[in-house]
Amino acid sequence: MKWISHIALTGTIAYAATQDPLPAAAACVGAILPDKIEGTPGSVGWRTWRSRHRGWSHWPLLYLALLGALTHSAGYFFYDAAFFSVLTWLLIGALLHIAEDAVCGKVPLLTPSEKYGIRLFTVGSFREYLFVLACIAAVYVIRSLL
């Protein structure tokens, strides 16, 4: 999925869940985090990028572990609700990125090297934007029913 699609869909989901622009903005940053960690063919070289592509940077257990560590650390360190909300939604945004990548290719699941997914559309195609639009509409419908 293109970054604009990741940001639009993830931001919509986060805002629908929280009704707060701060966690929604944090989720939008998280929505591009796995690809940012991975680098681009221009910045790391095509062979390095290809070998890293959707590897450990797209491994959901890594982000779930960080989310768990963050939740458990809340009582031990200083606690600021807004700060923890931003970090939590940053990680949730990254998890949503991985889920969104899983419908246009394969992403890791239990290990960084075993990949699963389906290809509903080609990245950057008209079908991608149609898919994202349908998902955003579904989020609005679900949110309006709650």
Residue 100 lies near Zn ion (rule: CB under 5 A):
no
**CB nearer to Zn ion: pick between 21 and 124:** 124
Long-range contacts of 135-143 (CB under 8 A, 24+ apart): 135/9, 135/12, 136/8, 136/9, 136/12, 139/12, 139/13, 139/16, 140/12, 140/16, 142/16, 143/16
Q: How far is the CB of 39 from Zn ion (least distance, A)?
A: 12
- Choose between 26 and 96: whose C-beta lies nearer to Zn ion: 96
For the CB of residue 52, give the shortest distance to Zn ion in the complex, in Å: 11
Q: For residues 108-127, which are near Zn ion according to CB under 5 A?
A: none
35 makes contact with Zn ion (CB under 5 A): yes
Number of C-alpha atoms within 13 angstroms, CB side, residue 81?
A: 0
Q: Are 35 and 94 in contact (CB under 8 A)?
A: no
Binding-site member from 101, 105, 108, 131 for Zn ion (CB under 5 A): 101
Which residues contribute to the site for Zn ion (CB under 5 A)? 34-35, 101
